[in-house]
């Protein structure tokens, strides 16, 4: 009888928690959908289900930047694609878990094709949030825009990683940055 009461208590607590969390989850999904629609309207980008490169393999070092581990995984749960100033760009909303936190976190990866073959390069932000070792014009652009924890140059992509959820202004600023990098690399 005691075991039955304990089980009923656990089920009741689970139902209450579900009823409390469900409206919050719906509100968060609605807010994300609104931001994505605003971004798509401003840029002309569209949501797509094109195959996504395996993020952890395509962008070496992303686990360390995000504080994730390889076994927790990083998944792209939303993707926008289109042209930005004549360069094809893709915006991925990433979901990941860290080793010490059970909640899911978000990050945004904005990428363009790399026009120049070469080895992968990861430029991480310093303690003050600045990315070091970049051309002055790009460094100034970064200082004026949203905080960028990392810049990736892989044989296939030039990408900028941002913490958090997709937001139109920061996604557009990141698209400007990867487009500038793409165009500067293509000239050389």
pLDDT at 93: 94
Is 164 in contact with 95 (CB distance < 8 Å)? no
| 28: three-class secondary structure by DSSP | helix
Tokens of 24: 């919050």
What residues does 40 pair with on adjacent strands? none
Query: Count of CB atoms within 10 A of residue 43's CB?
Result: 18
Residue 21: pLDDT above 60?
A: no
Helix axes 168-187, 136-144, angle to 10 degrees: 180
Model confidence pLDDT, tens digit, residues 38-65:
888 999 999 998 988 888 889 988 988 8
Instruction: State the number of CA atoms in the 13 A half-sphere of 107 facing the CB.
Output: 24
Buried b / exposed e over 85-103, threshold 16 CB at 10 Å, is eebebbbbbbebbeeeeee
Q: Is pLDDT of 85 > 70?
A: yes
Which pLDDT belongs to residue 100?
Answer: 67
Give the pLDDT band (50/70/90) at residue 70: low
Residue-wise pLDDT for 104-136, tens only, equals 788 999 999 999 988 888 888 766 556 666 767
Q: 91 vs 10, which has greater pLDDT?
A: 91
Rg (CA), the chain: 20
Whether the predicted pLDDT of 30 surpasses 60: yes
In the prediction, which pLDDT does 171 show?
Answer: 92
Residue 98 phi, psi dihedral angles, 5° rounding:
-90, 170
Q: Running DSSP on this structure, what letter comes out for residue 129?
A: S
> Domains of the chain (ranges plus CATH)?
45-187 (3.30.1370)
């Amino acid at each position: 009888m005691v075991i039955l009461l304990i089980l009923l208590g656990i089920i009741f607590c689970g139902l209450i928690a579900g009823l409390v969390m469900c409206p919050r989850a719906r509100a968060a999904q609605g807010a994300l959908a609104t931001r994505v629609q605003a971004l798509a309207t401003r840029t002309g980008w569209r949501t797509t289900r094109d195959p996504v490169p395996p993020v952890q393999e395509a962008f070496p070092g992303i686990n360390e930047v995000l504080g994730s581990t390889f076994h927790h995984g990083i998944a792209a749960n939303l993707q926008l694609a289109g042209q930005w100033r004549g360069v094809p760009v893709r915006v991925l909303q990433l979901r990941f878990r860290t080793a010490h936190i059970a909640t899911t976190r978000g990050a945004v990866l904005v990428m363009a094709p790399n026009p120049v073959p070469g080895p992968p390069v990861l430029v991480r932000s310093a303690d003050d949030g600045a990315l070091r070792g970049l051309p002055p014009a790009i460094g100034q652009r970064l200082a004026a825009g949203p905080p960028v924890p990392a810049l990736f140059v892989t044989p296939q992509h030039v990408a900028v990683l941002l913490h958090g959820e997709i937001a139109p202004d920061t996604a557009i600023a990141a698209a400007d940055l990867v487009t500038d990098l793409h165009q500067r690399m293509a000239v050389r």
